[in-house]
Amino acid sequence: MPIITLFSGDFCKKDSVLSELLSRTGHKLFNDKDIVAEAVRISGMAEEKIKRAFSAKTSVFNKFTHEKERALSYLKLALAQKLSQDHLLIDGFSALLVPKEIIHVLRVCLIADMKFRVSVAGEEQGLSQKAAIKFIQKQDEERVYWVDSLFGLKDPWDTELYDMVISMDKTTSKESVAFIAENLAKDVIKTTEASKKAIGDFLLAANVGVTLAQEGHNVDVSSKDGSVIITINKQVLRLSKLEEELRSIAERVAGVQSVETKVNKDYYQADIYRKYDFEMPSKVLLVDDEREFVTALSERFIMRDMGSAVAYDGESALQMISTDEPEVMVLDLRMPGIDGIEVLRRVKKSRPDIEVIILTGQGAEKDRKICMELGAFAYLQKPVDIDLLTDTLKSANEKIQKKKGAVYGINSKKV
């Protein structure tokens, strides 16, 4: 039986269509929640980090860690491992990950005009017109991001992506289901040997993609009949060396018969390819009101392949704790507004896993004692030797990675 994929806007009567469609066809539902759970299981990454792959919001540290790209590679693998099953109905953002080469898939999109969606939002959730429009627009922005990131398209309802785009403001749920079932029976959607082979190609590419991501690489991978193509999207100083490394890693994956590397059309833009080094600190938040000093320090860290972001006051730092999830903080004590000791106290209360290195030019012995009692990892004085600070950061990062390994019971590279 062919696979059905379903992608929908909010308040387009998807739930009623989905319920009736499952009942009528006997398909088994596999939605975003299911694929995220499976990706968490095979990766060891936290659920929130996997789910972030779907979202337009990106951590300031992602250009160093590639966490979003690693999450996406595991989502693809989780999906690829399921596609050999019959009678699947894949619902949600995950539906758009199914390659177009797998032709025994009926790709369905449900959408409606804003007036209809606002009305349904009022009926189902009691939202006012203003609240409904705001919510719908925000959710549609996430869909625009997702489609743009996958296909370079700005319209999530583009007919190019689907076999059927159903306007729910012009048809009932029962009529929509009947229309889907009618098309599901057509010969063009039936399983073929070529389509089965395309699932194998997708699974092999997903396995290679995960293997490369586990080694810190961020590239695109496709495959056909055991031949793997790796596409490099950003410039690298020694391209031949990178290509050799990528081929060496990919060739270790079972089923790979040959590996080809190439660069894409964006390769010659200014951005530089950066491999993620799991052994180096890559989520360091520098907090200091001396802008020139902290900016220069951040640049020094980046030159040493350590990922860092900057906050110029305590309030901004605390906001970044919840949104960007730094792992190590380098924190000044004397700042306007919320001072360093109070920031340390709040951080250790809300996120005790973050290691905090105090770096100050004005602290006294009593300050050092308070900071260490509050749980600071180290207390350093300005001016500090950059090598000493780097070594301290590496020690803090090593402690964090060991803790992760103990929690997940796996190699910390996967976390």
284-414 has CATH 1.10.3720.10 classification: no
Which tens digit of pLDDT belongs to each residue from 369-408? 999 999 999 999 998 899 999 999 999 999 988 887 665 5
Q: For the chain, where do the domains classified as CATH 3.40.50.2300 start and end?
A: 284-414
- Length of the chain equals 415
Cα–Cα dist 232/246, whole Å: 10
Cα–Cα dist 73/180, whole Å: 30
Burial status of residue 108 (CB atoms within 10 A of its CB: 0-12, 13-18, 19 or more): buried
What is the pTM assigned to this prediction? 0.85
Please name the residue that has the structure tokens 């950061």.
Answer: 393
pLDDT along the chain (415 residues), means of 10: 94 97 96 97 94 91 91 98 92 97 96 97 96 96 96 95 97 96 93 94 98 94 97 86 96 97 75 74 93 92 89 94 90 92 95 94 88 96 92 93 67 48
Render 330-372 in DSSP notation, one character per residue.
Answer: EE-S--SSS-HHHHHHHHHHH-TTSEEEEEESS--HHHHHHHH
Q: Residues 142, 145, 148, 150: what is their CA dihedral angle, to the nearest 10 degrees?
A: -80
Is residue 293 classed as helix, strand or coil in its secondary structure? helix
pLDDT value for 268: 64
Q: Please provide residue 198's backbone torsions phi and psi, each rounded to the nearest 5 degrees.
A: -65, -35
pLDDT value for 270: 57
Q: For the chain, where do the domains classified as CATH 3.40.50.300 start and end?
A: 3-189
pLDDT value for 96: 98
pLDDT value for 267: 65
Residues above pLDDT 90, as percent of the chain = 81
Which tens digit of pLDDT belongs to each residue from 203-218? 999 999 999 999 999 9
Name the residue among 175, 168, 203 with its Cα closest to residue 85.
203
∠ CA 136-137-143, rounded to 5°: 90
Name the residue among 228, 229, 227, 54 with its Cα closest to residue 147.
54
pLDDT value for 233: 85
What is the assigned CATH class of domain 3-189?
alpha beta
